Amino acid sequence: MPKLKTDLLREGMIVGADVKNIDSMLLIPSGASLTERQINILRAWGVEEVDVKASGDFTDAGDFLLQLPAEEAARLTSETKGLFWRLDGSNAVQMEIFKHILERKVQAGLNR
C-alpha cells in the first residue's frame, strides 16, 4: 500500500490501514473513504502520512488531466501506458512514475 503525504490526500481515497494519533486513538479506520473533513482532522492532529489503497484506475492521475478534453486525456494515458512493459496498478512506485510521466506530457501539451 502506498503511503501518501497528508497534503496529497484527496476526498474519496480509501484508507489502507488504521490511522491513529500519537496516543493510539483511532482517527480513521482501515477501508474508510476519506472526506474533506477527515483530511482536515488528520492535518490538525499532525498526521504526516497515510496508507491508501492503490487504485487500478490509470486515469486517476490528478487534476492536471481535467485541463484537457476527454479524448486527449485518454490518448495521452494510453500512450503513457504503452511505455511500460507491464504496468501494475498495485505497485506504488510504478504508479508514481506513470503519473509523473503523464503529468509532464500534459504540461508539455499545454505549453505548446
pLDDT tens for the chain, 112 residues long, are 577 788 888 888 889 899 998 889 999 999 999 999 999 999 999 998 888 885 544 334 456 666 677 788 788 888 988 988 888 877 888 888 988 898 888 877 766 6
Regarding the domain delimited by 3-51, which CATH topology (the fold level of the hierarchy) does it fall under?
Molybdopterin biosynthesis moea protein, domain 2 (3.90.105)
Q: Which pLDDT score is estimated for 57?
A: 45
Domain boundaries, the chain: 3-51, 63-110
Q: Which pLDDT score is estimated for 1?
A: 56
Burial-class residue 93 by CB neighbours within 10 Å (0-12, 13-18, 19+).
exposed
Q: Which pLDDT score is estimated for 30?
A: 93
pTM of the predicted model as reported, rounded to 2 decimal places: 0.49
Our CA angle for 99, 15, 55, nearest 5°, is 35
Q: Which pLDDT score is estimated for 10?
A: 84
Q: At what angle do helices 70-81 and 92-110 cross, to 10 degrees?
A: 130
